[in-house]
Amino acid sequence: MHGLGNDFVVVDAVSRKVFFNKEQIERLSDRNRGVGFDQLLIVEPPLNPEMDFRYRIYNSDGTEVEHCGNGARCFAKFVLDKELTNKSIINVETRKGKMQLRVLNDGQVTVDMGEPSFIPSDLPFTVDKVESIYSLRVSDRNIEITPVSVGNPHAVHKVDSLDDDYVATIGKALESHGRFPHNVNVGFMQILNRSEIRLRVYERGVGETQACGTGACAAVVAGIKQGWLDSNVVAHLNGGDLKIEWQGDGASILMTGPAAKVFEGQIYL
């Protein structure tokens, strides 16, 4: 499946028990010798009886991560297509808490991504004092970022243009910067107007992807927090567009976008 080109292998671990180790995930993610994907999504029975499913996410390097917005939309389409549920509003457990998915009549999916956090320890991000914008020394230059957690850690960097070499070099350097103990996803945001941005995201453990749902959420809320953007924003990513809404402190982020099935198959582990 894919959400705006951010691609996933989705596995039904409700109908049967399925377990993956790091080596298996790395082999499956290899685009030349395996299936190929940005992330592996596992659909499991919930631990909390009030939830409909449990949702687990693994990067292509085998590390488990907390959140994935594009994957959440694919998750919703998958459980409906597989007739694991007939609900249009689906409540899901994730590693970082609860999430609600709403499947719209046009097939698009709105994901309640929860409240963002700008508290450095929530990413985590080590600081001497709390500020609205932080300057980090990266690749012999000073880079200004807004750190924000949307269930996983992001560093949002506002740029005038989205240069390939700059995104690759600064993205890789920032991802593993020492002030982010668990590494970080890096968003490069170009503001077109108060309701429209362009965005490229260098994801930790993956590299740059065609689209990143949590990255779009992080960029928009960072822009709103800084006073650069209004509360409803269209984020243009390389793979397509996402609609992000955030009404400010205390409100959840709402992300709306498509999800698509590419093919279905079986593999023996």
Closest by alpha carbon to 131, among 122, 143, 119? 119
d(CA 158, CA 143): 9
Q: Directed axis angle between helix 69-81 and helix 213-225, to 10°?
A: 140
Residue 213 annotated as binding site: yes
Q: Does 66 carry a binding-site annotation? A: no
| Residue 24 DSSP one-character state | H
If you ran DSSP here, which 8-state letter would residue 161 be given? S
Query: 232 a known binding residue?
Result: no
Say if residue 21 carries a ligand binding annotation. no
- Give the active site residues: 68, 212
Rama region for 117: left / alpha / beta (φ>0; ψ in -120 to 50; rest): beta
204 annotated to bind ligand: yes
Q: Is 152 annotated as a binding residue?
A: yes
Q: Is 185 annotated as a binding residue?
A: yes
6 labelled binding-site residue: yes
Report the C-alpha gap between 250 and 183 in whole angstroms. 26
List, as residue ranges, the binding site.
6, 39, 59, 69-70, 152, 185, 203-204, 213-214
List, as residue ranges, the binding site for substrate.
6, 39, 59, 69-70, 152, 185, 203-204, 213-214
